[in-house]
């Protein structure tokens, strides 16, 4: 982005379907005009270190001040706020206890069956201290990795904050992943303990979790795990292994409600969170203490322009980065009231979300395009039954939002009065990177608009040169930022190669490649076009095609598999698998079912292919590479265009078409 594009931004206002911030909102907002945004953006661009140094001093509490803002002498390995000591659990809790915020509601939790629990900041602090002391009691200390495999219950957030409090990095594994997937993550992270629950409620059903942990730990597969802490949620019977398994309610209840937060070095690991890439097994994305704290704190404050009386609800699961950054850390660091919901809209209760908004007077609502599209499909008669006048701001995240869904969200859910923040970011970025600011940025349906101050985002060609207006290219970030991931757990080489060496500009600088395609319009607005690598985005969840392929070929009937995404009205992308079978195996309806459930067992239900096509052969180049471009076209019913001369056997294409 050019250093001064005020004029071009003004021209935005002449275009159609532009929604400028309301005068009322702008007049109260922290960042209250495009000029203010522009000034901050330019300041940060001019002198990154002064900008972030001042922000870190002002926004976070430090046990010891940092001596250096950024060390970028060994790119792509950044070190932020070195010399400083801080603790994110204390920034999320202790610092709110001095004044009236102590008795403010920190967390409202709504269970699937309708049970509600509330915690003030004081109460949440006590619970977190108890849990932290319990962790110490079972021998967990600074640096020990603790895995969480939890339903959406308050204990999930409490456990994360407790880990952070004693300096034990957490590794949250989404409760929808299978025992196999959990095992992989426990082994890779060398987890010392697992915190789980007997089970969790998901759409009218109780899903077992503890038994999956038992399965993951079976046959001494994870020797590093010494302890399992089990929250009672669904009351189903579970087996408890003496000396290894403890009930949360027994162990935590009697602990002291004081636990001094461990002073952590800025660059101490805060957590590892696994995410899918183009190749290999999921990568453990590493985030560290101070930079991540600052990033989630400030972005939350800017993007939602949070006020003292807001009731904020993000519908994500804590198993994903959105839950980490914008259910737990960002909101609590700002002293906000955050809502956590165990359930999901389901046929038996299609108005579940709107009921919650009405019931708790929610003012800010943050969800995913896939959910919005599903609501659209069932019509406005459902949301129209609820009073949602408390809402003042809407957010979306996870995948590109089509303008039609954006307009529906604005009109039907937001009553035409709430601005929408379309936030682009990733597990790797720690927090939001490109988003409107509600009091400053005119919005265009379908565009994530402008990069936040300090985010030097651009769209480039394969040489790293900026492309021209409206030309598609690779979405990159040219400068380091405090919330950036620091490395891939146990594999710094993979970190360097996947994100920083895909594009190497001729000047030798390091630029971060996000894996997305994008274009920038005449106003400098970003339009994200989706992944350009072998990652598919299914209902806002990232999956590597190779992971699904590996799961398929691990089935005895499968010889080869190739997986691609196909555009889908509801999910964004659907998973299509092309499968060739071992000799003597015949395609059948029951084999198809079997393969789908096999993938569910290997990875989790979200990875089950929507469609499986059996084929005698896959289209390959002479060097044996599967031509996914062809499969993508076939999967979405498009003409196979472009060069097919590199195909080894052209008859394969004809047979696939038939
Ligand atoms: C990928 C990151 C960030 C939290 C949820 C997903 C896609 C995310 C947007 C958006 C268009 C988006 C990108 C990105 N994505 N937000 N507002 N517009 N695409 O985190 O699992 O790490 O996935 O989600 O493709 O690379 P994640």
- The yes-or-no verdict on residue 443 having pLDDT over 80 is yes
Q: Classify the phi-psi angles of 227: left when phi > 0, otherwise alpha if psi is within -120 to 50, otherwise beta.
A: beta
What separation in Å is there between the alpha carbon of 175 and the centre of ligand 1? 20
145-165: pLDDT as tens digits: 999 999 999 999 999 999 999
Using the mean position of ligand 1's atoms as its centre, give its distance from the Cα of residue 516 in Å. 9
pLDDT at site 639 = 83
Position 632 pLDDT exceeds 60? yes
Query: Is residue 524's pLDDT more than 80?
Result: yes
Strands 116-120 and 269-275, sheet pairing = unpaired
> What is the C-alpha separation between 44 and 174, in angstroms, rounded?
35
Query: How would DSSP label each residue in 230-242?
Result: EE-SS-------T
The answer to whether the beta carbons of residues 441 and 463 sit under 8 Å apart is: no
Tokens 């076939």 correspond to what residue?
Answer: 634
Helix (H, G, I), strand (E, B) or coil at 440: coil
Which residue's CA is the closest to the ligand 1 atom numbered 12?
A: 399
pLDDT: is 654 or 137 the higher one?
137
Cα torsion 14, 16, 17, 22 to 10°: value is 30
- pLDDT tens digits, 356-372: 999 999 999 999 999 99
CA 267–ligand 1 middle distance (angstroms): 25
Distance 503 CA to ligand 1 centre (A): 20
Closest atom, ligand 1, to C-alpha of 535: 25
- Best residue among 425, 476, 525, 533 to mutate for probing ligand 1's pocket (most ligand atoms within 8 Å of CB) is 425
Minimal CA–CA distance to 90: which of 142, 56, 129? 129
455 Cα: distance to centroid of ligand 1 (angstroms) = 16
Q: How far is the CA of 427 from the centre of ligand 1 (A)?
A: 8
Average pLDDT, integer, range 378-383 = 94
Question: How far is it, in rounded angstroms, from Cα 278 to Cα 494?
Answer: 11
For the segment 327-348, what is each residue's pLDDT rounded down to a tens digit?
999 999 999 999 999 998 888 8
| Per-residue exposure over 320-335, b if at least 16 CB sit within 10 Å of its own CB, e if not | bbbbbbbbbbbbbbbb
pLDDT at 4 > cutoff 50: no
296: Cβ contacts below 8 Å, ≥ 6 apart:
324, 325, 326, 329, 330, 333, 430, 431, 483
Q: Is the pLDDT of residue 412 over 60?
A: yes
Residue 507's pLDDT is 87
pLDDT for 20-74, tens place per residue?
998 888 999 999 999 999 999 999 999 999 999 999 999 999 999 999 999 999 9
Strands 420-423 and 393-397: parallel
Confidence of residue 15 (pLDDT cuts 50, 70, 90): very low
CA dihedral 515, 519, 524, 528 (to 10 degrees): -50
Look at ligand 1, atom 11, and give the residue with the nearest C-alpha: 400
Question: Taking the CA of residue 57 as centre, how many other CA atoms within 13 Å lie in the half-sphere pointing to its CB?
Answer: 10
Q: 294: pLDDT confidence band, cut at 50, 70 and 90?
A: very high
| pLDDT score, position 506 | 85
Q: Which of 235, 204, 14 is nearest to 112 (CA)?
A: 204
CA of 397 to the centre of ligand 1 (A): 6
**Sign of the torsion angle spanned by Cα atoms 316, 300, 162, 158:** negative
**Best probe residue, ligand 1, of 328, 519, 528 (max atoms within 8 Å of C-beta):** 528
**What's the CA-to-centroid distance between 80 and ligand 1, angstroms?**
24
DSSP 329: I
Question: What is the mean predicted confidence (pLDDT) over 421-426?
Answer: 98
316 CA to centre of ligand 1 in angstroms: 13
Q: What is the pLDDT of residue 649?
A: 83
Report the pLDDT value the prediction gives residue 13, as an integer from 0 to 100: 40
Distance CA 262, CA 192 (A): 19
Q: State percent of the chain over pLDDT 70.
A: 98
In a 3-state reduction of DSSP, which class is residue 603? Answer: coil
Sequence-ordered list of residues with C-beta below 8 angstroms from that of 412, at least 6 positions apart, any chain: 375, 376, 380, 383, 384
Can you tell me which atom of ligand 1 is nearest the CA of 321?
A: 4
Going by their DSSP bridges, the two strands 105-110 and 85-86 should be labelled as unpaired
Phi, psi at residue 252, to the nearest 5°? -80, -35
Q: Mean pLDDT over residues 546-569, rounded? A: 96
Residue 633 predicted with pLDDT over 70:
yes
* pLDDT reported for residue 310: 98
By C-alpha distance, which of 400, 447, 448, 422 is closest to 565? 400
Range with lowest mean pLDDT among 94-98, 247-251, 581-585: 581-585
Pocket of ligand 1 (CB under 6 A): 275, 321-322, 397-400, 422-427, 448, 514-516, 528, 530-531, 537, 542
pLDDT number for residue 79: 98
- Say how many Å lie between the CA of residue 531 and the centre of ligand 1: 9
Neighbours of 379 (CB within 10 A): 11
138 three-state secondary structure: coil
pLDDT at residue 530 above 90?
yes
Q: What is the C-alpha separation between 573 and 579, in angstroms, rounded?
A: 19
- Residue 349 is predicted with a pLDDT of 87
Tell me the percentage of the chain whose pLDDT exceeds 90. Answer: 87
Q: Which atom of ligand 1 is nearest to the CA of 400?
A: 11
| 3-class DSSP assignment, residue 197 | strand
Write the residue with the smallest CA distance to atom 1 of ligand 1. 426
Tell me the pLDDT band of 1, cut-offs 50, 70 and 90: very low
pLDDT of residue 182: 98
Span from the CA of 483 to the centroid of ligand 1 (angstroms): 16
Atom of ligand 1 nearest to the CA of 424: 17
Residues 6+ apart with CB under 8 A from 382: 350, 351, 354, 375
Q: What share of the chain is helix, strand, coil (3-state, %, to 5)?
A: 35, 25, 40
Pocket test for ligand 1, best of 177, 271, 426 (most atoms within 8 A of CB): 426
Cis peptide before 600 (omega within 30 of 0): no
- How far is ligand 1, taken at its centre, from the CA of residue 209, in Å? 27
pLDDT reported for residue 205: 87
Query: Best substitution site from 277, 320, 398 to test ligand 1's pocket, by max atoms within 8 Å of Cβ?
Result: 398
Question: How far is the C-alpha of 40 from the C-alpha of 31, rounded, in Å?
Answer: 9
Asked if 476 and 511 count as a contact pair (C-beta separation under 8 A), the reply is yes
Pocket test for ligand 1, best of 330, 542, 607 (most atoms within 8 A of CB): 542
According to the model, what pLDDT value does residue 346 have?
A: 84
Closest CA to 76 of 456, 464, 508: 508
Structure confidence at residue 6 (pLDDT):
36
pLDDT of 655 > 70? The answer is yes
- Judge contact between 168 and 141, C-beta under 8 A: yes
- Mean pLDDT, all residues of the chain: 94
> Is the per-residue pLDDT at 477 higher than 80?
yes
Q: For ligand 1, atom 6, which residue shows the shortest CA distance?
A: 398
Ligand 1 atom nearest to CA at 514? 26
Could you identify the atom of ligand 1 that is nearest to the CA of residue 401?
18
Q: State the average pLDDT over residues 601-625.
A: 93
- CA 104 – ligand 1 centroid, Å: 32
What is the three-state SS of 549-583?
A: HHHHHCCCCEEEEEEEEEEECCCEEEEEEEEEECC
Q: Which atom of ligand 1 is nearest to the CA of 515?
A: 26
């Amino acid at each position: 982005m050019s250093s001064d594009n005020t004029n071009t931004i003004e021209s935005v206002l002449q275009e159609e379907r532009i929604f400028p911030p309301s005068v009322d909102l702008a007049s109260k907002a922290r960042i209250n005009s495009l000029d203010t945004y522009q000034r901050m953006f330019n300041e940060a661009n001019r002198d990154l270190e002064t900008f972030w140094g001042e922000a870190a001093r002002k926004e976070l509490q430090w046990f010891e001040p940092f001596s250096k803002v950024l060390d970028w002498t060994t790119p792509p390995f950044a070190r932020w706020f070195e010399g400083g000591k801080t603790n994110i659990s204390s920034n999320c809790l202790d610092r709110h206890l001095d004044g009236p915020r102590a008795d403010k509601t920190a967390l409202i939790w709504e269970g699937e069956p309708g049970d509600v629990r509330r915690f003030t900041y004081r109460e949440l602090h006590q619970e977190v201290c108890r849990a932290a002391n319990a962790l110490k009691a079972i021998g967990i200390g600074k640096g020990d990795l603790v895995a969480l495999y939890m339903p959406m219950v308050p204990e999930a957030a409490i456990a994360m904050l407790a880990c952070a409090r004693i300096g034990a990095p957490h590794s949250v594994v989404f409760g929808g992943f299978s025992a196999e997937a959990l095992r992989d993550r426990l082994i890779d992270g060398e987890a010392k303990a697992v915190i789980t629950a007997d089970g969790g409620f998901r759409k009218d059903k109780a899903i077992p979790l503890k038994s999956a942990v038992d399965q993951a730990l079976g046959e001494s597969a994870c020797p590093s795990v010494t302890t399992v802490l089990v929250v009672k949620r669904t009351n189903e019977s579970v087996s408890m292994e003496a000396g290894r398994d403890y009930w949360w309610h027994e162990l935590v209840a009697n602990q002291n409600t004081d636990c001094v937060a461990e002073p952590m070095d800025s660059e101490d690991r805060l957590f590892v969170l696994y995410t899918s890439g183009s190749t290999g097994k999921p990568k453990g994305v590493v985030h560290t203490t101070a930079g991540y704290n600052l990033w989630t704190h400030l972005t939350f404050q800017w993007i939602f322009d949070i006020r003292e009386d807001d009731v904020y609800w993000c519908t994500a699961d804590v198993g994903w980065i959105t839950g980490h950054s914008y259910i737990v850390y960002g909101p609590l660091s700002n002293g906000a009231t955050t809502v956590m919901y165990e359930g999901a809209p389901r046929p038996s209760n299609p108005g579940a979300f709107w009921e919650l908004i009405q019931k708790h007077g929610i003012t800010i609502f943050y969800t995913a395009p896939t959910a919005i599209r599903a609501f659209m499909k069932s019509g406005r008669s459902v949301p129209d039954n609820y009073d949602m006048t408390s809402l003042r701001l809407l957010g979306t995240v996870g995948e590109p939002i089509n303008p039609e869904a954006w307009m529906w969200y604005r009109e039907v859910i937001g009553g035409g009065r709430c601005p929408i923040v379309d936030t682009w970011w990733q597990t790797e970025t720690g927090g939001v990177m490109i988003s409107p600011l509600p009091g400053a940025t005119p919005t265009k349906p379908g565009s994530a608009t402008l990069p936040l101050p300090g985010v030097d985002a651009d769209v480039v060609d394969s040489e790293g040169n900026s492309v021209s207006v409206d030309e598609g290219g690779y979405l990159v970030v040219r400068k380091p930022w405090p919330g950036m991931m620091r490395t891939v757990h146990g594999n710094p080489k993979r970190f360097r190669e996947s994100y920083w060496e895909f594009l190497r500009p001729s000047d030798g600088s390091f630029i971060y490649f996000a894996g997305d395609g994008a274009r920038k319009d005449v106003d400098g607005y970003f339009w994200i076009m989706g992944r350009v690598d072998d990652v598919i985005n299914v209902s806002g969840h990232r999956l590597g095609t190779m992971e699904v392929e590996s799961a398929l070929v691990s089935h005895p009937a499968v010889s080869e598999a190739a997986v691609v995404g196909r555009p889908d009205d509801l999910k964004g992308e659907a998973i299509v698998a092309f499968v060739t079978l071992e000799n003597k195996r015949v395609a059948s309806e029951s084999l198809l079912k079997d393969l789908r459930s096999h993938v569910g067992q290997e990875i989790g239900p979200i990875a089950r292919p929507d469609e499986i096509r059996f084929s005698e052969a896959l289209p390959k180049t002479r060097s044996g590479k599967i031509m996914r471009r062809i499969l993508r076209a076939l999967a979405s019913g498009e003409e196979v265009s472009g060069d097919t001369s590199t195909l080894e056997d052209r008859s394969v294409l004809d047979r696939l078409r038939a």
